[in-house]
């Protein structure tokens, strides 16, 4: 088999899935399987840490299974393994630790497929939307398990609702993309949040209470804090072995890109540099989590995996630091603890706004990060915690307001 760009990325993704699956059994033995079962029966709304629900082994196994679904889809559709697909698999595996399950993501994918067929396209054309659209997985789980319907009826209603949601996603995704013009990396977060608003309103009208959910794994494991740094070092090593010194120069060049969607760093600079960037972002993110004193819980590790994935598709150190600083300053100004679940997740996921800093400067990035934390503490309840990319939702809204103002200023300031 040719040692090509595609292959090294797909090999790494297969390795990650195997690593998670094997580690699950090493940590929890056979209990990992019962933990996996427990996770499938959870409504999975934000924030339900699967480490708490199904144990570390069950959660890791669920993440591996969810990642496998994504990997198989990419193979079947014949889409190349590159920045976007690397980001998608890492994101799905990450959220497999706190919300996505192999069962609750499938109806969404089916809906996107039906939508593609309606307009004479194939799933391949909408694969990115299908993979990231799985953020609405909890919609299926909530209707199946929390609606009060008999189980068979709840499951049927959940699958139908999830398929309907998936069906609408492609049209909404493009409309949302135009709102922020690609300056928020997690566009499907904005899309799913927008759709989640309607879904949650309907369910609230039907009498669902949407009680706050918070299951958060706290400390106690020496293994979890080491997981992401180890994977990061492996990514850096793989990048350097694959591309040699070019990996370092490509990594430096990646820092020069604003990162606006779609920025496939694998195509733009090279596979080695993109993998090194992913590893460096993973190390930087882990360091921040460590210094804030936060727990390496499922959502935190999931968040770190997401930004590592997006480090091949828009995130870099240069476009991220000012946004992260904005969130930290906002938290300190409003007396929030940096290690609180909502705050640490915002510190990690605010990098969705990196392209704003990359294109319009650090001050814009800082202000966007500041506003992001204020927004994200509200948006979760708006959509009942059913959109797993709540930071993507808040980030998309934040980017949209900045873009609207910048666009207005530039359009109206005469240069003739």
Partner 1 sequence: MKRKDLILNLIGEISNYLLDENPMRLVVSLHQEEDGLHLCILDDNKHTEEEVETMRKALNSRKRPELAEYYGAMTGHDMLGSARLDLLGWQIKHSDVTQSDSGIKIDLWFGGERFQSDKFTIPDKE
Distance of closest approach, residue 127 Cβ to partner 1, in angstroms = 5
Distance of closest approach, residue 411 Cβ to partner 1, in angstroms = 9
Distance of closest approach, residue 312 Cβ to partner 1, in angstroms = 13
DSSP 260: P
For residues 18 and 119, which CB has a smaller minimum distance to partner 1 in the complex? 119
Q: How many CB atoms lie within 10 A of CB 18?
A: 12
Distance of closest approach, residue 30 Cβ to partner 1, in angstroms = 39
For residues 30 and 410, which CB has a smaller minimum distance to partner 1 in the complex? 410
Binding mask 55-94 for partner 1 (x = CB under 8 A): ----------------------x-xx-x-xx---------
Spatial contact of 312 and 265, defined as CB atoms under 8 Å apart: yes
121 binds partner 1 (CB under 8 A): yes
- The interface with partner 1 within residues 156-215 (CB under 8 A) comprises 170, 173-174, 177-178, 181-183
Q: How many CB atoms lie within 10 A of CB 85?
A: 28
- The interface with partner 1 within residues 10-39 (CB under 8 A) comprises none
308 binds partner 1 (CB under 8 A): no
For residues 178 and 204, which CB has a smaller minimum distance to partner 1 in the complex? 178
- Nearest Cα to Cα of residue 155 among 136, 142, 169: 142
Q: 31: which 2 tokens?
A: 């209990």
Name the packing angle between helices 362-382 and 187-205 (round to 10°). 20
Only one of the segments 126-134, 143-151, 304-312, 375-383 lies at the binding site for partner 1 (rule: CB under 8 A); that segment is 126-134
Distance, in Å, from the CA atom of 157 to the CA atom of 161, rounded to the nearest integer, reads 6
List Cα–Cα distances, 20 to 41, 94, 110, 205, in angstroms: 21, 11, 26, 40
Only one of the segments 14-22, 48-56, 124-132, 294-302 lies at the binding site for partner 1 (rule: CB under 8 A); that segment is 124-132
234 binds partner 1 (CB under 8 A): no
Distance, in Å, from the CA atom of 105 to the CA atom of 100, rounded to the nearest integer, reads 7
Distance of closest approach, residue 256 Cβ to partner 1, in angstroms = 12
314 binds partner 1 (CB under 8 A): no
Distance, in Å, from the CA atom of 96 to the CA atom of 348, rounded to the nearest integer, reads 17
Only one of the segments 101-109, 119-127, 292-300, 376-384 lies at the binding site for partner 1 (rule: CB under 8 A); that segment is 119-127
Query: Which DSSP string corresponds to 28-49?
Result: HTTHHHHHHHHHHTS---SSB-
- Nearest Cα to Cα of residue 142 among 73, 85, 213, 84: 213
Distance, in Å, from the CA atom of 103 to the CA atom of 364, rounded to the nearest integer, reads 40
Binding mask 251-270 for partner 1 (x = CB under 8 A): -------x-xxx-x--x---
For residues 8 and 97, which CB has a smaller minimum distance to partner 1 in the complex? 8
359 binds partner 1 (CB under 8 A): yes
Max Cα distance, the chain (Å): 72
List Cα–Cα distances, 254 to 126, 226, 239, 245, in angstroms: 26, 26, 14, 14
Residues within the interface to partner 1 (CB under 8 A): 77, 79-80, 82, 84-85, 121, 124-129, 170, 173-174, 177-178, 181-183, 258, 260-262, 264, 267, 359, 403, 406-407, 410
């Amino acid at each position: 088999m040719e040692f090509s760009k595609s292959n090294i990325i797909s090999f790494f993704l297969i390795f990650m899935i195997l690593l998670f699956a094997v580690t699950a059994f090493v940590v929890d033995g056979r209990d990992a399987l019962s933990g996996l079962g427990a996770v499938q029966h959870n409504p999975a709304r934000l924030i339900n840490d699967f480490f708490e629900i199904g144990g570390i082994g069950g959660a890791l196994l669920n993440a591996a299974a969810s990642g496998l679904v994504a990997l198989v889809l990419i193979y079947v559709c014949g889409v190349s393994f590159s920045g976007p697909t690397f980001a998608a698999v890492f994101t799905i595996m990450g959220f497999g630790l706190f919300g996505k399950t192999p069962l609750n993501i499938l109806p969404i994918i089916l809906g996107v497929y039906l939508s593609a067929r309606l307009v004479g396209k194939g799933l391949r054309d909408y694969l990115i939307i299908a993979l990231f659209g799985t953020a609405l997985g909890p919609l299926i789980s909530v209707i199946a398990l929390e609606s009060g319907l008999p189980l068979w009826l709840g499951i049927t209603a959940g699958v139908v609702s999830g398929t309907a949601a998936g069906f609408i996603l492609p049209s909404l995704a493009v409309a949302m993309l135009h709102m922020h013009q690609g300056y928020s990396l997690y566009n499907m977060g904005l899309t799913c949040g927008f759709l989640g608003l309607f879904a949650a309103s309907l369910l609230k009208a039907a009498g669902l209470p949407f009680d706050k959910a918070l299951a958060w794994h706290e400390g106690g494991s020496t293994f979890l804090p080491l997981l992401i740094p180890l994977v990061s070092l492996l990514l850096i090593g793989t990048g350097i072995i694959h591309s040699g010194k070019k990996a370092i120069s490509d990594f430096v060049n990646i820092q020069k890109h604003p990162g606006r969607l779609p920025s496939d760093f694998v195509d733009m600079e090279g596979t080695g540099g993109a993998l090194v960037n992913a590893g460096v972002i993973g190390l930087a993110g882990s360091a921040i989590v460590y210094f804030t004193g936060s727990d390496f819980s499922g959502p935190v590790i999931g968040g770190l995996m997401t930004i590592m994935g997006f480090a091949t598709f828009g995130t870099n150190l240069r476009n991220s630091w000012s946004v992260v600083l904005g969130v930290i300053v906002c938290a300190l100004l409003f007396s929030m603890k940096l290690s609180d679940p909502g705050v640490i997740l915002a510190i990690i996921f605010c990098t969705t706004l990196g392209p704003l800093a990359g294109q319009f400067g650090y001050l814009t990035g800082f202000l966007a990060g500041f506003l992001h934390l204020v927004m994200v503490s509200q948006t979760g309840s708006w959509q009942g915690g059913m959109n797993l990319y709540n930071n993507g939702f808040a980030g998309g809204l934040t980017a949209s307001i900045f873009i609207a103002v910048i666009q207005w200023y530039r359009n109206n300031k005469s240069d003739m």
